Amino acid sequence: MSSPREPAVLAADLAAPGAPVFSDYGRVLRNVHVAGEYWHMELAVPEGLAGAAPGQFYQMLCEPRATAGPVPFLRRPMSIYRFDRGQRRLEFLYKVTGIGTAALAQQRSGDAVGLVGPLGIGFRLERSWRHVLIVARGVGLATLAPLAEAARENGIRSTVILSARSPDLILSRERFLANGATVSVVVDTDRTSEVANVERMIRDIHAADPFDAFFTCGSNRLLKLLKSLGEDLRVPGQVAIEQQMACGLGMCFCCIRPIVRGGDVEYLRVCHDGPVFTLEEVDSW
């Protein structure tokens, strides 16, 4: 097995530390409300911005269309939901939670949106892996969707568990299915999302068809569950964590989090040293 900090076998040149970062504008093709607080934006972008690896993110300028009201000073970090280098397209699935994302929701077809990226270290896939588990909730649905596509391209099967408050907030099921994943849905409304049930599901699947790796994003309780299962079943894993960021480039030290490595706690920058870490390194999402 390669070093946990080694770049992914997929798009290694883009996920590696020190890879080129671009600053430019994308042109909005679509920006639509999909469910609840969630919106889906598709952008046409210059060539440099179009390259990314699953788990990486972009710093997005959030300028409201109207001049009235507050204007966010800082860009917002947005995980990549889909990218197409050939067509020079980027897609983002985002949740409106404040003035920055509310400004993004105002954008219409033809508007220009400033982007810096791709940024951060993305997910890593081992060439020897044949079956991985992806567990996502909330914004994790956006972060992990590209991973299933990358797994398929590398001949790796995906089992996916999608968790949400209610069925209408399961936003990426068709996307995962289109990439050959086996998908299960668990929700709060019928209590199938309870940790005990999700653990039972994972153990049953692993007993019949063992996992080579776990991946998660979007929930502390799911992170803690996969950490525990990973230790018990001796399955490695990775998590993409969320953190408030200012620059996104590692210069401002705004996004420091305690990360456990070699038994010691190191205070690392999520934007520069992550946002993807191993399950063993992270105690909370």
Domains and CATH numbers, the chain: 12-119 (2.40.30.10), 131-239 (3.40.50.80)
Tokens of 83: 């990218």
Residue-wise pLDDT tens digits, 245-260: 888 888 899 899 999 9
Q: Look at residue 268 in the predicted model and tell me its pLDDT.
A: 94
% helix, strand, coil for the chain, step of 5: 25, 35, 40
- What pLDDT does 166 receive? 92
Higher pLDDT, 47 or 181: 181
Question: CB–CB of 283/260 below 8 Å?
Answer: yes
What are the start-end ranges of the H helices in 19-114?
99-105
Cα dihedral across residues 39, 177, 240, 249: positive or negative: negative
Query: Residue 9 above 80 pLDDT?
Result: no
- The residue to which tokens 């985002």 are assigned: 94
For residue range 163-217, list pLDDT tens digits in order.
999 998 888 899 899 999 999 999 999 999 999 999 999 999 999 999 999 999 9
Residues 6+ apart with CB under 8 A from 154: 9, 10, 125, 127
pLDDT above 70 (res 156): yes
> What pLDDT score does 281 carry?
94
Task: Give me the chain's average pLDDT, please.
Answer: 88
Q: Are 218 and 143 in contact (CB under 8 A)?
A: yes
**Phi, psi (rounded to 5 degrees) for 42:** -120, 135
Residue 263 pLDDT > 50: yes
Rounded to whole angstroms, how far apart are CA atoms 212 and 223?
Answer: 17
**Nearest to residue 156, comparing CAs of 78, 212, 94?**
212
Other CB atoms within 10 A of residue 60 CB: 26
Q: How confident is the model at residue 8 (pLDDT cuts 50, 70, 90)?
A: very low
User: Tokens at residue 245, please?
Assistant: 């960021």
Beta partners for 92? 41
pLDDT surpasses 70 at 15: no
Q: How large is the C-alpha radius of gyration of the chain?
A: 18
Residue 63 has pLDDT above 90, yes or no: no
pLDDT for residue 14 is more than 50: no
Crossing angle (nearest 10°) for helices 195-208 and 220-233:
40
**From residue 283, how far is each of 11, 52, 57, 241, 260 by CA, in Å?**
28, 27, 22, 10, 8
Q: What is the pTM of this model?
A: 0.89
pLDDT band at 10 (very low <50, low <70, confident <90, very high): very low
The per-residue pLDDT for 73 is 82
- Residue 20 is predicted with a pLDDT of 78
Inter-residue contact 62 to 100 (CB < 8 Å):
yes
E strands along the chain, which residues? 22-35, 38-44, 57-60, 76-79, 82-84, 89-95, 112-119, 131-137, 157-164, 182-187, 213-217, 237-240, 256-261, 264-269, 276-278
Please, which pLDDT band fits residue 74 given cuts at 50, 70 and 90? confident
Percent of the chain with pLDDT over 70: 92
Q: What are phi and psi of 138, to 5 degrees?
A: 60, -130
- So what's the pLDDT on residue 141? 84
CB-CB neighbours of 173 under 10 Å: 16
Q: What is the pLDDT of residue 248?
A: 86
Q: Which helix (H) or strand (E) holds 59?
A: strand 57-60
State yes or no: pLDDT of 5 exceeds 50: no
Element (H, E) at 233: helix 220-233
Tokens of 113: 């949106």
